[in-house]
Structure 1
Amino acid sequence: MKMYPSSNNDGMPHGSNQSDLSSYAADLLEREDELYQEGVKQVQTYKDIEYRINKLENQDERDVMFYRYIKGFKWWQIAQLMDCSEEWIYKLHGRALKKIQIN
Structure 2
Amino acid sequence: MRFLKEERLERVRCYQKIERQIRQMENEDEQEVLRLRYIKGLKWEEVALKMNYSRKQVHRIHSSALKSFKMT
Regarding TM over 0.5, the answer is: yes
Higher helix share: 2
Alpha-carbon RMSD across the aligned residues, in angstroms, is: 1.0
RCO comparison, higher one (Cα < 8 Å, 6+): 2
User: Alignment length, in residue pairs?
Assistant: 72
User: Does residue 71 of structure 1 match 2:40?
Assistant: yes
Structure 1 residue 102: deviation in Å? 2.9
Larger Rg: 1
Structure 1 residue 35: deviation in Å? 0.7
TM-score (structure 2 length as normaliser): 0.92
Structure 1 segments, 4+ long, off by >3 Å, are none
TM-score (structure 1 length as normaliser): 0.66
Matched AA of 2:21? R
Structure 2 CA distance, aligned partners of 1:93 and 1:76? 13
Unpaired runs of at least 5, structure 1: 1-31
Identity %: 36
SS in structure 1 at match of 2:62: helix
